[in-house]
Amino acid sequence: MDDALIWVLIGVVLVVLEALVPGVYLLWIGLAMVGSGLYAWWFGASFGAKVGVFLALLAAGVAVALRLKRRQRSEARVNVPEAGLVGRIGTVVAAEPARTRVRVGDTEWTARLAGEARAGDAVRVEGVDGTTLIVRRVAGSEA
């Protein structure tokens, strides 16, 4: 059996195992092995060349995986207050300079008013700073 075919078959087995086992460890190794086997089949490369192509493809795959992971991490917005609060409408409960409270849904939040509002006014959440909502009065809503 041609050794290029062995590289391709082992790579395919690793990719199939990756589909059965969660994670992304075997995927890049399998793809690099398939690529090395195809390179050896097309160009009749020596063992050293196959290993060099394998390492280059593996490094490229790991670089792509890290870039995708970094992008995915920056977009993950689950379980953060602003994920579901920005844009929602609430009601001012207390509009004191030192302690403004706003009810959004069934929860009261500390708030920072962007503009003027009184108790009972409807406000829209414009942002979140820690656990403090940044709100602005909705035009036409007066208590």
Which pLDDT belongs to residue 84? 77
Residue extents of the structural domains in the chain: 3-75, 81-137
Strand partners, 100: 95, 111
Which pLDDT belongs to residue 79? 55
Which pLDDT belongs to residue 23? 72
Which pLDDT belongs to residue 34? 93
Which pLDDT belongs to residue 32? 93
Give the CATH fold of the 81-137 domain: OB fold (Dihydrolipoamide Acetyltransferase, E2P) (2.40.50)
- Residue ranges in the chain whose pLDDT is less than 50: 76
Which pLDDT belongs to residue 38? 92
Q: At what angle do helices 3-20 and 47-75 cross, to 10 degrees?
A: 20
Which pLDDT belongs to residue 39? 92
Q: Which of 86, 85, 91 is nearest to 121 (CA)?
A: 91
Which pLDDT belongs to residue 58? 92
Q: How far is CA 60 from CA 8, 9, 13, 51, 77, in A?
A: 18, 21, 20, 14, 28
Which pLDDT belongs to residue 73? 58
Which pLDDT belongs to residue 46? 87
